[in-house]
Structure formats: structure tokens, C-alpha cells
Structure 1
Amino acid sequence: MRKVSVVLNSQAVIGDTDPRLFGAFVEHLGRCVYGGIYEPGHPTADEQGFRHDVLELVRELAPTIMRYPGGNFVSGYNWEDAVGPVDKRPRRLDLAWMSTEPNTFGTNEFIDWCRLADIEPMLAVNLGTRAGDAARNLVEYCNHPGGTAWSDLRKEHGWEKPHNVKFWCLGNEMDGPWQMEMKTAEEYGRIATEAAKMMKWIDPSIELAACGSSGRNMPTFGAWEDTVLQHTFPHVEWISLHTYVNNYAGDTPAMLASPDLMDGFIEEVVAIADSVAARAHSSKRIMLSFDEWNVWYRTRRNKAERVKPGWPVAPEILEEIYTMEDALAFGGMCLSLLNHADRVKCACLAQLVNVIAPIMTETGGPAWRQTIFFPFAQMSHFGRGRVLRAEVDSPTYAASYFDPRGKDDLYFPMPAVPYLKMAAVEDPETGAVTIFALNRHLEESMPLDVALKDFGTPSLIEALQLRHDDLKATNTKAHPDEVAPTALTGVSLSADRIQATLAPASWNMIRVGKP
């Protein structure tokens, strides 16, 4: 491959990353909660049942905000079922995942877990089977200091101080036919608006995210966002986006190209949101909450695999086993988020443990990192700061990405996909620059030349690569470190310049400091 050139200028900035960009997601789905973050009786569990081996990995992963309790689950959830004495909590049939929900883990336990993990909680309210009344009661229960029925009930349950949850989601994927009490855009827009009004009347300091359509490939996409925001614009700060990339077609180059479609998705939603603002003659800007994103396809559309007979508690479903190939596509999605840091101010990797997750556990046994763990951890630790606008000169390839949509399967032609996808983040306190670089060529190494305008001769802090000779390699209980970062050698530094050779099909991180 010919040399790939990049120019970085500290004065050319896309935007500052918001701390909430590095979030994740816990849903009552499969073994994410029960057997994941919560397993009383596990050798590492504390008195509340929180697995500390999982907590250690969560701290290493370093998510900053956590969405809960769904997801599809929230559209049929009665939050009151899961507060108060555990032995008095009802068991319910969960129609989202065809399982039994014991409600032994609920809002208060989740808040305690977040505090223990030093993570900001994000709560979603049920706007499927319920509406604004239940939502405003939950805000009062969580955030009001006391002296009312709901706030005093929280105190009675053992939580004297208010939880002060600031970020709230107004439902989930309400245009999806799979959703309990699916809504039209008009129906959802009205319900979300009325819920938002009451929630903010109780606590004016909260921030609210309206549901975007369930994906860019939905028939409702575009018109849904426009209609919903016309209703909710005065009351919300955020619009949500969801996307999962796949390799249904068995086409690895197309899968590695697919994060570029995520860029287009973000830019389209920004345009819609700003169009609504323009029609409202408002300078207000709606920010984007990409509160579900990941690689997911093996366990996604196989209903027989995910619906277990007998309505079990916490069945082993959606336990995607991630490969080296998946980690590369996942890394590309991380780059898309960073490179839109001016408008994507919140994002949640879906999900955290066992269910399409970077962390896997064995019930009663160990926990380990999946391949996708590493790009996220590196992004979260070193992607915080000023995202620089990169001028990239890279050879390209053509791809056609397959994204199924029921009866109308979609192919997205991508005629010019750069082999290099990258992002660069400057730490405003130290001036250090971190370069995240994905070489999407499956066979050729990439000679990379990065010019740092007016930087001086940088000092190398760290250089790592994630690669494997077998793109289907995975991490397992028996071999938890089969895929893991290794040193990226041969990085050359000179005045205002970084040079390196990136291996084929590799994710790379190069960190340099000021001279």
C-alpha cells in the first residue's frame, strides 16, 4: 500500500468530547443483570449481591454513564414492582424477552451499583404500556428530597437522600413493531411531550432524550425524527439514535466499511434536528444521544435461539461471542462517535455484561474480556479532550453493505471507503495527542505518516495494536487473552511528525506528548 498521509492542526477542532460519550447500557435482558452485574452467592459478591470481579472489569472499561432498565424491557415495566422489600416484590412475565422478571434488582439497587462503580445513572421511563403519570412519579421518587408520598416512600425503603438522576430517556424504540404498545410519531410525540412537561415540573434540572426511530433502515426514519421533535422540541435536550453493524453477508471489507454509514446517520439526524430548530426560529441545538450501538447479528434474528420455553429467569440469550473481525468494526464505530463530538454528546455501548457485551461471565465462575472490550477501554481512557479534524489522504476501496430490513433488505453502496479510518484527540491539560487508527486492508500493511502542525518533536508515551492472524479468533473462559493489545513497534518520531506501519486488519493507538 502507498503511504497514507494525515495532517493534524491543533487549531482545527471538531469539538470537545462530553464525558457522557463513553457510556454503556444495562437492561433486564438475559444474563445482563442476573448473573452479570448482580449474582448473590457468587464468591466475589458483596452483601448487596454485586459481583466485584465484574466491577473490576467495568472500572477498567471505564464507562461514564449507564442506561437502565431498557431497551425493549422498559416498554412493559412497572418501576414500582422493583422497589421496597425484596420478598414482597412481584414476579412478572416480561413480554420483551419472553422470560420471568423476579424484580429482585430494581431502581435503588441500580443507583447503588452506579455509585459503587462511579458511573452516572441514566433512567428510561415506560411510555409503552404506561405514560406521563408513572414517569413523573418515578422522578419524584428518585429526585425529590422528601415530604411527599413518593419521596417519603424512597426514604422508607432505605434511601434517605435523593438519587438526583439527571439524564432521562422518554421510552425506547417506540416505532418498532416489536415494541409493547408501538406508537405512531404523532402518538409518541404527544405522550412524550406531556410526560416531559410533568417530569420537568417536578425537577427542572433534569435532561430529557426523545426517542428517535429505531434505526436508519426503518421505514419511519427521518419523518419520525422530524415529527417527534416538532412536538417535543421545547422540552427535550436530546434525540436518540440506535445502530448495530453486522456481517450477515460474510463480507468482511463491507463490514469494516459500515461504520462510515454511521457517520452519515449522525449527520442526517443533525440536519433534521436543526431543521426543526430553524422552523421554530430557535438557536437551541438538540444534541444526539447514541444510546445503543454495537456489532450484533449472530444472535439477533434467530428467534428460536432467544426464546426459551417455560418463561425462565435470566435465560442465556443474545450472548454474542465477539471475534477479532468484530473488534475492528467496533473500533470503527468508536471513531465515528469521536469524529462527531460536536453533536454526539452521549453514547451507550449496548450492552455491558453477557448480552452483546464486552464482558462475559460464567454463573458462579469467572469473568473475562471480549475482543470489543479493548477499543472501548482505550477510547474511554484516552479519547477525552479536543477531537482534532484530520486531513486524510488514503487509498480507497468499494463495498456494498447489507443491512436487512424485514421484507425489504437494503444494500448500501459505498464506492470510496478509505482504508484508514482514524480519530485524534488532544488532552487540553497536557497537550498530549492520542491517535486511534484502523487499517481496514485485510492483506497489506499501511505506512502511516502523520504531520502535527507546530507541535515540535513529540515524545512517545505508548503505542499499542490489536490484531490477530485469525480474524475469527475469540476470547473464551479457557483462553481469555487470545485477542489482546500488544506493543506497536517501529513508531518513528521527528519534528512535527509521527511515522508508523500499521499491520493489516488492525486497530491501533499511538499516544505522544509535547516535547
Structure 2
Amino acid sequence: MRLFKNICFYTLVLCLVSGNLTAQEIALIKIDPDRKIDTIDPNIYGAFVEPIRTVVYGNIYDPDSPFADENGFRKDFIDLIKELNIRNVRWPGGNFVSGYNWEDGIGPKDQRPAKLDLAWNQIETNQMGTDEYAKFCSLIGADNFLCINGGTGTLDDARNWVEYCNYEKGTFYSDLRRKYGNEEPFNVKYVGLGNEIDGPWQMGQKSAEDYCKFALEAGKLIALIDEDIKLVASGASLYRPGNEWVDWNEYVLDKMVGKIDYISVHRYATEALPGGRENNVFSDRMSLGLDIDEKIETTHALIKKAMVKSESDRPVYISFDEYSPGFGGMASSLLLAQHLNSFIRHADIVKMANITMITNLTGHSPEGVFKNSLFHTFHLYSNNAIGTALDIYTDGPSYDNEIFNNIPYLDVTAIFNESEKKVILNVVNRHETEAIETKIDLQAGKYTGKATVNVINAENPNARNTIDESPVSVETDQLNFKGNVIKHTFPAHSFTQIEIPVK
């Protein structure tokens, strides 16, 4: 019996030591600029805005704020968000839009009706309407991505809204826009054909069959007004056992391929956690990038199937136009990096993405806005991660949890920016407590031997910035190397972006 106990003890010690060694083994990243996935569409650096609580009224638009400009927009927020180079903004919803009458939000503000918003059980004052959303987009340099009311709305609502936005002049709605002070069209480039219409929480929920009947006709009318508008079908958002979300997407694609340019994916990945959003286990949350990969790859397969069946030559891509990494702490910034890494890894199919909400990319206080951890991560990607996504090889330590097996501690993407002659390497270290030593093998090309390393990290993975303190920030350093091999150690719970100039 004593011998048995000793065997058990040493076996336990061996397991603990082995687990530690696994976490500390040297990882390998192989990068070849000739192994290309596709060009990254800058539209993956988009955002989403919906008038929920203080998202719009307070954080973006607040005529009573000391930070307000002459139009009521928060100048401090506008100035800071412009640094992120956001390419498009999806508005005005969201669940809100499924009960929204867009004509309530135009014309003199003192004549706009206050309405009960059933989506969020609040009063919508309609002080922020179509003209104001379009103005906001112009202020931050973003394209307009309009989502129509596919719930309680009608075909006339959809076509009239687009006419108001994009038709130059000479019609009732285009001249109404001009009368209200906007002589030039808003040039809406993207139109979402409804929001989450499969969801029982949605006003005007529809079956897949009824949705397609509406969306096909709405898309047809919109195209007759402006044939250059890109149309986004409402993909599934109801994820539950039985994979009914797959059935919805399959049906919508079968019916709409050839008539649309994108299908939306909405995924709040914390739904996959054991225990849901209340689960704050760091290793569990750090695995959620794999859930994003899974949703993209499943939808991509359905697109391929529908394209083959339809024989259409009009490509359909994924618009991942609602996702959230959390609300601004260090761990949230790492999950944001994993989302963006997933979009880059799937650059051949994900051509647009919109983070929920645009206001989550900054911190807010009575004294003004400030850079939170999400700001720093998004800034590094949106300003630097441009070019061609590369098909890289990685090998290194991994772990398992209740959701996934073989979760690599390092989540890695690489990009070749040909115009600026550099390789950009993005690495998330998912390990909460241990740094990971890594060999980076540049398999082709000649390099200058110098690289710029940007690191986002904090002592505590739950650290959160305030207007007075910034425990989460970007630290920049230079790295020298010889030949085509870089040796680098990625700190625990960190995001690192390395810019490697090419000769």
C-alpha cells in the first residue's frame, strides 16, 4: 500500500512538472511571404453603433456637454476615435432598428417625436437620426453602413430611406434631404437587409422563408435606386443546441446567392462559455478565438455550397458585423486581438467586421474620454495590419478546456505589406502566468535585421485604464536580429505586434 501511495505521489509530481514544461517549451513560427491567403479588406476595421442607454445620447451626441461641438457631437470622442481609422460604421442597429421608423428621425429637431423603443425599453428622442448618423460618419472618416428595418418595416420604408440617403435630387425624398440641409447625397455604400431576424427577441421575427421573401424584394428595390450599394443578408444569430443557426444560413444562402454581396455573422463568443458570460476563468475566455474561427469556417462552407448550386459569379463574403470582446480591461484587449486575428486568418472570406459598440473603444468619464485597452489593440491593427494575410505555420504549447481541445497558447497571424516593404506579426500569448520563448523563422526574403516591437500588457490581466491611470498601454522597443531568424519571448497575458522591414 505504501508503494502504491509513493507511485501515485510521484505520478502526480510528474504530471505537474510536465504541465509546466509544456507551457515553457520553445514555440515555432514559420513565415513565408509567398504563402498568401488573400488581401485583408480594411473594412474589417469597422464599428457598430446603436442608441442603447448612453451609447449615442451621452457618449457621441450630447448638446449639453462642455465637449459638444456646434452640432451637439462630443468633440473629445470624435477626436480620439479618428485615431483608430475606422473604415465603416453600421447604424442605427441592432435590435433597435427592427422597430424603427426612420422618418421620425429627420427634419427639425423640435418637431421629431419621442417614441417608445421596445427593443431596449427606453424612450427614443430621435434627436440622432439619419442626417446625424451620416454626419458622424463624415466626421470620423468612415463609410455609411445602413441597416434597414427588416422586422416591422415595409418595402416602401426601405426604398424611401435609401432614396433619401443616396438619390441626388428631383424626387420627394431626395429633395426632402436637401430641404433639411444636406444637398449632397450621403453615399451609403452598404445596406444590411435587417438585423437578427431569426431571433425571438427581435420585433418582427420571421421564418427563413418569410425573411428571404422580404429581403429579396427589398434588395431589388434598393438596387434599382443605387446599383452600387452592397447588400448584406441577415445571417443567423440564434445559437443553441441543434445547430438551427446552420439551417438558417443554409436556407438564406440557397435563396439569396446571386442577389447579395455579404451574409452577416453575429457572435458574442462568451455565449460559448460554460456558465455563460459570468464565467471569468481567464483560460476559458482566452479560448474564445476558436469559437470565432468555427463560426467563420462553417459559414464559409455554406457559402461555397450555395455558390456551387447557384452557379452565380457574384461573390458572397462574410460581414462579421456584431462582436464584442468585452468592456475595456486587459483581458478584453487580448480577446479583441483574437477576433481580429481570426478575421485576418480568414481574409479570403471575411471582408467586413463591426465591433459592438464604437463607444467601447474608448473609456468614458465626466472629465472626458480616454484610451482604454481596446483602443490600444484596435489602433495597432487598424493602422498597421494592412496588406496580404499570410498562411503561416505555428507549433508550440497548448491546453484543453471544457469547450475546446489543443488550444494553442500563442494565437498568431502574419501580414505582408508590399507597399511599405514589411512583415507584420501579431501574437497573443493566452497563458495567464508564463512567458513563451519563441523562434520566428522567416523562410523567404531578405531582412534589415531590425524590427519594431509593440507590446500591450499589464501586471494584472484584469487591469483597466481610467482617466487618471493607464496600467494598460503600448510599450515600443527595437529588436535586432541576424539572418532570417528572430528569437523573442512573448510575455504572459500579452499582445505583441512586431514590424519586420524587408530589404
TM-score normalised to structure 1 length: 0.89
Kept in 1, the 8 Å contact 2:86–2:140? The answer is no
SS class of match (2:473): coil
Residue deviations 1:180-203, cap 9 Å, x none? 111111111111111111111111
**Structure label with greater radius of gyration:** 2
Where in structure 2 are the equivalents of 1:185-200 lying within 5 Å?
185-200=208-223
Unaligned runs of 5+ in 2: 1-23, 271-276
Identity of counterpart residues, as a percentage? 33
Aligned partner (choices 362, 378, 394) of residue 365 of structure 2? 362
TM-score normalised to structure 2 length: 0.91
Matched letter for residue 224 of structure 1:
W
Residue deviations 1:81-115, cap 9 Å, x none? 11111111000000111111101111111111211
Pair 1:438-2:438 in alignment:
no
> How has the CA–CA distance of structure 1 residues 266 and 343 changed in structure 2, closer, same or farther, with 3 Å as cutoff?
same
Kept in 2, the 8 Å contact 1:14–1:386? The answer is yes
Matched letter for residue 271 of structure 1:
A
Where in structure 2 are the equivalents of 1:265-280 lying within 5 Å?
265-280=295-310
What is the aligned partner in structure 2 of residue 101 from structure 1?
124
Pair 1:236-2:242 in alignment:
no
What is the aligned partner in structure 1 of residue 472 from structure 2?
483
What is the aligned partner in structure 1 of residue 374 from structure 2?
372
For 2:112 and 2:449, the matched residues in 1 are separated by 58
For 1:276 and 1:216, the matched residues in 2 are separated by 21
What is the aligned partner in structure 2 of residue 333 from structure 1?
339
What is the aligned partner in structure 2 of residue 398 from structure 1?
400
For 2:413 and 2:27, the matched residues in 1 are separated by 14
Where in structure 2 are the equivalents of 1:108-187 lying within 5 Å?
108-187=131-210
SS class of match (2:279): coil
SS class of match (2:60): coil
Kept in 2, the 8 Å contact 1:215–1:242? The answer is no
Kept in 2, the 8 Å contact 1:432–1:512? The answer is yes
What is the aligned partner in structure 2 of residue 287 from structure 1?
317
Pair 1:257-2:287 in alignment:
yes
What is the aligned partner in structure 1 of residue 273 from structure 2?
none
> How has the CA–CA distance of structure 1 residues 216 and 343 changed in structure 2, closer, same or farther, with 3 Å as cutoff?
farther
Pair 1:470-2:460 in alignment:
yes
Kept in 2, the 8 Å contact 1:326–1:372? The answer is yes
What is the aligned partner in structure 2 of residue 66 from structure 1?
89
For 1:249 and 1:55, the matched residues in 2 are separated by 34
Kept in 1, the 8 Å contact 2:63–2:71? The answer is yes
For 2:147 and 2:372, the matched residues in 1 are separated by 27
Residue deviations 1:102-142, cap 9 Å, x none? 01111111111211211111100001011221001011111
Residue deviations 1:255-313, cap 9 Å, x none? 111101211110100111111111112343310000011124xxxxxxxxxxxxxxxxx
Kept in 2, the 8 Å contact 1:458–1:497? The answer is no
What is the aligned partner in structure 2 of residue 324 from structure 1?
330
Report the count of equivalent residues.
473
Kept in 1, the 8 Å contact 2:216–2:256? The answer is yes
What is the aligned partner in structure 2 of residue 310 from structure 1?
none
For 1:362 and 1:96, the matched residues in 2 are separated by 26
**Larger mean Cα displacement after TM superposition, 275-284 or 164-173:** 275-284
> How has the CA–CA distance of structure 1 residues 459 and 217 changed in structure 2, closer, same or farther, with 3 Å as cutoff?
farther
Q: CA deviation at 1:379?
A: 0.7
Kept in 2, the 8 Å contact 1:273–1:285? The answer is no
Q: CA deviation at 1:381?
A: 0.5
For 1:215 and 1:436, the matched residues in 2 are separated by 31
For 2:451 and 2:439, the matched residues in 1 are separated by 18
Q: CA deviation at 1:456?
A: 1.8
Pair 1:223-2:247 in alignment:
yes
Kept in 1, the 8 Å contact 2:47–2:358? The answer is yes
For 2:299 and 2:263, the matched residues in 1 are separated by 9
Matched letter for residue 471 of structure 2:
E
Kept in 2, the 8 Å contact 1:215–1:241? The answer is no
What is the aligned partner in structure 2 of residue 299 from structure 1?
none
For 2:196 and 2:448, the matched residues in 1 are separated by 46
Kept in 2, the 8 Å contact 1:8–1:451? The answer is yes
What is the aligned partner in structure 1 of residue 501 from structure 2?
513
Pair 1:49-2:72 in alignment:
yes
SS class of match (2:268): strand
For 1:446 and 1:260, the matched residues in 2 are separated by 20
Q: CA deviation at 1:54?
A: 0.4
Unaligned runs of 5+ in 1: 297-319, 401-411
Aligned partner (choices 181, 187, 206) of residue 229 of structure 2? 206
Kept in 2, the 8 Å contact 1:457–1:497? The answer is no
SS class of match (2:31): strand
Matched letter for residue 73 of structure 1:
F
Pair 1:449-2:434 in alignment:
no
For 2:25 and 2:363, the matched residues in 1 are separated by 40
Kept in 2, the 8 Å contact 1:21–1:348? The answer is yes
For 1:201 and 1:248, the matched residues in 2 are separated by 47
SS class of match (1:500): strand
Pair 1:496-2:496 in alignment:
no
Q: CA deviation at 1:217?
A: 4.1
Q: CA deviation at 1:367?
A: 0.6
For 2:82 and 2:194, the matched residues in 1 are separated by 28
Aligned partner (choices 346, 350, 358) of residue 344 of structure 1? 350
Kept in 2, the 8 Å contact 1:212–1:225? The answer is yes
Matched letter for residue 400 of structure 2:
A
Kept in 2, the 8 Å contact 1:332–1:421? The answer is yes
RMSD (Å), alpha carbons: 1.5
SS class of match (2:318): strand
Kept in 2, the 8 Å contact 1:216–1:265? The answer is no
